[in-house]
Structure 1
Amino acid sequence: MTRAYRLDAPSGVIADMFDAQHGPDPWGGGDLRPGEFAPVIVRSAKTSRRVIRPMVWGYPAPNSLTPSGEVQWVPTVRNISSPFWVGNLRHVELRCLVPATALIRSRQGQTDEAAINAPRIFAMAGIWRDLTDMPVFAIISVEDKARARASTPLILDGPQQQHWLTADWKDASRLLDQPRARPDPCA
């Protein structure tokens, strides 16, 4: 699973691509890592329209402060049956889309950016939560049976994006088992 991704697009381009409302760009673009602010797309509770919101990537792990006072972030959801995640997954209003232009992976101490044969911006499935001091999100990862990697982000095409944001959990969870619509951005 990637521990970083890249987003090189201003909010206006992201909004057009995902039919979302946007405000000013609160992020600088480029490489994004856990613990940093990034834009995500959620559905407005009042209007049901898609809206771009800045959130921190990663959930603070329980009892996660290091001796130096740093937070350890949980950036991905792998075990969807875990009680830690199941509440968020079952509530449609807590699902989101995470826009990206590339995934970044590390191999034996070297970092490389993965090429993708897809539209300039793609969406990964995610979940989010408003904590007392900030909203946070995590990316859904799925087992990649065709490759030796343990997991890869769940990348959604247009109809799958709407399904992820609106379907009840029984239906939305089927997206985790379907063949991927696009080539793996880490291939």
Structure 2
Amino acid sequence: MCNLYSNTTTQELMRQLFSGLTDRAGNLAPGQFYPDQQGAIVRHGADTGLELVKARWGMPSPPGVLKTQRDPGVTNVRNLSSPHWRRWLRPGHRCLVPLTSFAEPVKGGNQWFTSVDTDAHMFFAGIEVRGWTSVRKVKDGETTDDLFAFLTCAPNAEVGAIHPKAMPVILTEPEEWETWLLAPVEVAATLQRPLPDGTLQLVPTPI
């Protein structure tokens, strides 16, 4: 499961990639992102167009898996047929999560992956919900947050050699970004697939 990624994509570049993008993210510092932290997402604006904002990594958990009131959130989503996730698969809840590399755990640390193509722009296929009230940390009590997670799928050759169960769904082409954000769910769901073999390289540190 991918529970660590890095992003050094600048806000200016994201404004270039998405025409008319409204930047509401404030200052986005490059770095590594762990579950429950604030990360950048590109989502549908409240009125029209796309907007760049920060949201908390971890969608609401299915109620049946919670043992206490605390909900740490779900970072990776695989089963799109689950009623819990279907409600957030409509275009209005889909988002793109920019990344430049991601990690899978290995003995003694993490193995990082990035694109072989240094000019590629990578985004996780994400889903998001706004204004969700829950107890994320007991010491904080109830908080109301904008939340996100991203899809996973079967791994390609590079990831599968390290983590044979899954890899994140990564979109690299503008046509894929548009399809994920706008297409009917039946069409968008076809993007839940691994990157082709040979498109990722293993690197020792985040990019």
Structure 1 length-normalised TM: 0.84
Q: 1:137 aligns with which of 137, 148, 155?
A: 148
Q: Equivalent residue of 2:80, what SS? A: coil
The equivalences for 1:16-165 within 5 A come to 16-19=16-19, 20-47=21-48, 49-61=49-61, 62=63, 64=66, 71-89=71-89, 91-118=90-117, 119=119, 121-130=121-130, 131-132=132-133, 133-144=144-155, 146=157, 147=160, 149-156=164-171, 157-165=173-181
Identity of matched residues, %? 24
Does the 8 Å CA contact 1:4/1:103 hold for their aligned counterparts? yes
1:161 and 1:182 map into 2 onto residues whose CA distance is 21
Does the 8 Å CA contact 2:55/2:146 hold for their aligned counterparts? yes
1:8 is matched with 8
1:70 positional shift: 6.3
1:176 and 1:22 map into 2 onto residues whose CA distance is 27
2:141 is matched with none
1:170 aligns with 2:186: yes
Deviations 1:25-77 (A, max 9, x none): 34432000110011100122422x221111001124236477xx964221010
Amino acid at match of 1:117: V
Structure number with bigger Rg:
2
RMSD of aligned alpha carbons: 2.6
2:72 and 2:12 map into 1 onto residues whose CA distance is 32
1:14 positional shift: 2.2
Does the 8 Å CA contact 2:113/2:201 hold for their aligned counterparts? yes
Amino acid at match of 2:184: D
Deviations 1:123-147 (A, max 9, x none): 1101001113111001111112653
Q: Which runs of 5+ in 1 are unaligned?
A: none
Q: Equivalent residue of 1:150, what SS? A: coil
1:34 and 1:50 map into 2 onto residues whose CA distance is 24
1:160 and 1:85 map into 2 onto residues whose CA distance is 21
Count of aligned pairs: 183
Q: Which runs of 5+ in 2 are unaligned?
A: 134-143
Greater Cα offset, 176-185 or 146-155: 176-185
